[in-house]
Amino acid sequence: GKLVNFTLPPYGKYPVNKGRAKIGSMKTQYVETFFSNVAQTSGMDISLVKIRGDNGHHVVESAFKAFSRALRNLIDGTNTNNYTSAQFEKMWGVKSDSHISSLDLCREGKLERSTKETSILVHVLLNGLAKGADHHVNVSTGIETMDKFVSILAKEATMSIEAKCNGDLYVDDHHTSEDVSIALGQVLNTAFGTKAGLNRMWCAVGTYGDAEVEVTMDLSNRPCITHNLSLSSNPNDEEYAGDLSVEMLDHVIESLVMNSKSTVHILEKNVGKTVLETALATAMAFGKALRMCAAVDPRRAGKTASSKGTLSV
């Protein structure tokens, strides 16, 4: 085995162009040495590629977490982007211990609120909705693109949802799209509960038209969103994704992530012909990742996937 790719340095941006040489008592130069030796002695080919990261501590921590997750998938014989294999069905399918344990939690979240700008109802159930069962997905916001975005996300996440909004669309799309995404994030966070026993982290790819988007998600209780989506620099200089303004698409994604208290990194792997394609590919990847992050891993025996033992502090 060998270390095929290793692009973690620089470890942070302080000092500029150099990053950290030492984190605690560990010299960062030995991170590569460690993984190189692991590859050689295990007989595995290993690639560690940093997509982004400005904090040296987090770069190293994420590298070890990513390696551990990849190793677990290798041992399980599963692939984060192959949801149809026999092994994936055994581990995470509708007859798996994970699925049954997830349903036993009876997780749901509901929010109703009215302001001078919007009246909203959002109700979600993390109930393992069978993919394609449209009668369990009822979304009506007055903005077609929002309806498609939320519906695709819900179907891929295999959750039932009712989302209704009566907003001041005579002004513009701002308050309606913002409030729907805030409410959705809040009810998801309620439905997640303490997150004890859950997978917590996953990575998934969504495609729509020419667009291909990867979402890496962590139900961390540490809200953060980064992305490189071609929104302000889209090929056709589009102002709208369907009937949703592009600036509000950006805000919708941010509001959803921040209010669900998740960490989400979105990587545009292929640009769509339109911003709408990119938006719906993002919704698909987001829903797929959400499904697996929220899934129970019975091997954790109800323990939180955190070295701290909790995500509440």
C-alpha–C-alpha distance, residues 53 and 41, integer Å: 29
C-alpha–C-alpha distance, residues 278 and 188, integer Å: 23
Q: Model confidence at 234, in pLDDT bands (50, 70, 90)?
A: confident
Q: What is the mean pLDDT of residues 154-163?
A: 95
Percent of the chain with pLDDT over 90: 80
C-alpha–C-alpha distance, residues 295 and 96, integer Å: 11
Question: What's the mean per-residue pLDDT of the chain?
Answer: 92
Specify burial of residue 181 (Cβ count, 10 A radius: 0-12, 13-18, 19+).
Answer: buried
Q: What is the mean pLDDT of residues 245-269?
A: 97
Q: Answer yes or no: is pLDDT of 86 > 70.
A: yes
pLDDT at 84: 85
Q: What is the mean pLDDT of residues 298-309?
A: 70
Q: Answer yes or no: is pLDDT of 128 > 80.
A: no
Is 59 in a helix, a strand, or coil? helix
Q: Model confidence at 259, in pLDDT bands (50, 70, 90)?
A: very high
The pTM (predicted TM-score) of the whole model is 0.90
Structure tokens at 87: 């092994």
Q: What is the mean pLDDT of residues 39-46?
A: 97
Q: Which of 73-82, 128-137, 157-166 has the lowest mean pLDDT?
A: 128-137
pLDDT at 241: 97
pLDDT at 27: 97
**Residue-wise DSSP of 198-250:** B--EEEEEEEETTEEEEEEEE--SS-EEEE--SSTT-TT--SEETTEEHHHHH
Q: What is the dihedral of CA 256, 258, 263, 266, to 10 degrees?
A: 50
Q: Model confidence at 305, in pLDDT bands (50, 70, 90)?
A: low
pLDDT at 267: 95
